[in-house]
Amino acid sequence: AQSVTQLDSQVPVFEEAPVELRCNYSSSVSVYLFWYVQYPNQGLQLLLKYLSGSTLVKGINGFEAEFNKSQTSFHLRKPSVHISDTAEYFCAVSDRGDKIIFGKGTRLHILP
């Protein structure tokens, strides 16, 4: 069975500073990986996904993530954050079927 670990429940970062949100997964089979963002009182929106091919995936709003199979990681990065990036970010894994399992989320706090 798959599982996802998001190592940080909250990450504070100053505006215009870089940020990395960590995600590790476990699975006995090949996987698809996702990052979703949830703004207050809203549903989740897809930021980016890795299905195959290049291990560096670019998403919306300037975010990118790198798939590292040997470390079973899929960390999310942005070189310069904005106040509007304040949200909760969820890493998710699928075993290439339909079932998508989410991590517990990381709250990103942007400090002025």
Instruction: Note the residues at the interface with other proteins (CB under 8 A).
Output: 32, 34, 36, 42-46, 49, 51, 90, 94, 96, 98-105
Q: How far is CA 9 from the centre of its chain?
A: 12
Handedness of CA 51, 52, 58, 63 (dihedral sign): positive
Choice between 13 and 101, CB closer to other proteins = 101
Instruction: Give min distance, CB of 92 to other proteins, in A.
Output: 8
Instruction: Give min distance, CB of 15 to other proteins, in A.
Output: 26
Contact 15, 111 (CB under 8 A): yes
Choice between 69 and 96, CB closer to other proteins = 96
- Which amino acid is present at 50? Y
Running DSSP on this structure, what letter comes out for residue 79?
A: S
Instruction: Give min distance, CB of 51 to other proteins, in A.
Output: 6
